[in-house]
Structure 1
Amino acid sequence: MNVFGIAGHSGMGKTTLLERLVPALTARGLAVSLVKHSHKAIEIDRPGKDSWRLREAGCQEVLLLGDGRWALMHELRGAEEPPLPYLLSRLQHCDLVLIEGFKQGDFPKLEVWRPAMERDMLWPRWPGIVGIASDAPRPADAAGALPWLDLHDTAALTDFVLAHAQARVD
Structure 2
Amino acid sequence: MRVYGVTGWKNAGKTGLVERLVAYLSARGLRVSTIKHAHHEFDVDADGTDSARHRAAGAGEVLIASARRFALMHELRGAPEPSLDALLAHLSPCDLVLVEGFKTARHPKIEAFRASEGHALMAPGDPSVRALAADAPITGMDRPVFHLDDTAAIAAFICADCGLAMPEPPTAAMAERS
So what's the TM-score if we normalise by structure 1?
0.92
SS of 1:158's partner is helix
Counterpart amino acid of 1:164? D
Where in structure 2 are the equivalents of 1:4-153 lying within 5 Å? 4-139=4-139, 143-153=140-150
Conservation of the 8 A alpha-carbon contact between 1:103 and 1:126: no
Unaligned runs of 5+ in 1: none
**Cα distance, 1:19 vs structure 2:** 1.4
Deviations 1:6-54 (A, max 9, x none): 0001111111111111111112210000011111111000111110011
Number of aligned residue pairs: give it: 164
Deviation at 1:166, TM superposition (A): 6.5
- For residue 47 of structure 1, give the secondary structure of its aligned residue in structure 2: coil
Could you list the per-position Cα deviations for residues 65-107 of structure 1 after superposition, in whole angstroms to 9, with x for gaps in the alignment? Answer: 1241100000001100111111111100000000011111111
Root-mean-square deviation (CA), in Å?
A: 1.4
Greater Cα radius of gyration, structure 1 or 2: 2
**Structure 1, residues 94-142: CA drift from partner, whole Å, max 9, x if none?**
0000001111111110000011111111122335100010010114xxx
> For residues 116 and 124 of structure 2, what CA distance do their matches in structure 1 show?
19
User: How far apart are the structure 2 equivalents of 1:115 and 1:80?
Assistant: 35
| % same residue | 46
Report the Cα distance in structure 2 between the residues aligned to 1:166 and 1:159, rounded to whole angstroms. Answer: 10
Query: Structure 1 CA distance, aligned partners of 2:12 and 2:2?
Result: 24
Structure 2 alignment gaps of length 5 or more:
165-178
Cα gap change, 1:5 to 1:16, in 2 (>3 Å): same
Aligned to 2:162: 165
Distance 2:100 2:34 in 1: 8
- Report the residue type matching 1:11 in the other structure: N
